[in-house]
A = this chain, B = another copy of it.
Amino acid sequence: MSKRGLSKKTRQMLLIKTIAEDPFLNDEELAEKFNVSVQTIRLDRMELKLPELRERIKAVAEDNYAKVRSIDVAEIVGELVDLELDKRGISILETTNKMTFGKTKVIRGDIIFAQANSLAIATIDAKVALTGVANIKYKLPVYAGQKLVAKAEVTRVRGNKKFVFVRTYVKQKEVFRGKFILVSLEAEDNNTDT
């Protein structure tokens, strides 16, 4: 299954296909996948005029921001790449050195929490939603440069309380999970689904 030794032409064709299928792979992940250097991937992208991850995410996120009701989109930590209100949402956060604790070089827990919490709120179909309770677990340390993919799922609705389960991954490995109980402040039209 090694892709080492692919001709440049073949690699570039596969690169287009790979990005079309999973637009959220960053250059490091693509380099790993094709067994070439990050520099090679960058040159390939430039030749093929494929935008970098940040641009690809932005393009996808635009549509989702229009759906959000419960939070100002600028307040979502990470980019919202999938959203079905009251069902599920996905956000991506590219971590940087600025987000680390200096002592450990590990991404701050409150950043990972903020991504998950703001995604949970964004996923809710309500004019306003506040966090009531959160039970969270940090499973693996995350380092600067790693890409956090948070997936939220609304698991239960009881009156104006909505239960949201968020799992956050780095390269398919779960690094964080949180169960949130959110209170939606839109009693007038949201209390029928008990």
Binding site for B on A (CB under 8 A): 70-72, 75, 77, 101-104, 106, 108-110, 113-114, 117-118, 127-128, 130-138, 141, 185
Contacts and interface: CB of A to CB of B under 8 A. Distances in A.
A141 B114 CA distance: 17
Contact of A134 (B77, B108, B132, B136): B136
A101 B75 contact: yes
Contact of A71 (B103, B118, B131, B135): B103
Nearest to A115: B110
Q: How many copies of this chain sit in the oligomeric assembly?
A: 2
B110 A114 contact: yes
Contacts of A109: 117, 130-131, 134
A8 B65 CA distance: 56
Nearest to A183: B138
B104 A75 contact: no
Nearest to A69: B103
A104 to B, nearest CB: 5
A133 B136 contact: yes
Given A101-B71, A103-B70, A138 B133 contact: yes
A103 B130 CA distance: 10
A69 to B, nearest CB: 9
Given A108-B75, A113-B110, A117-B110, A132 B128 contact: no
28 contacts: A70-B103, A71-B103, A72-B101, A72-B102, A75-B101, A75-B102, A104-B130, A109-B117, A109-B131, A110-B110, A110-B113, A110-B114, A110-B117, A113-B113, A113-B114, A113-B134, A114-B114, A132-B137, A133-B136, A133-B137, A133-B138, A134-B134, A134-B135, A134-B136, A134-B137, A135-B135, A135-B136, A136-B136
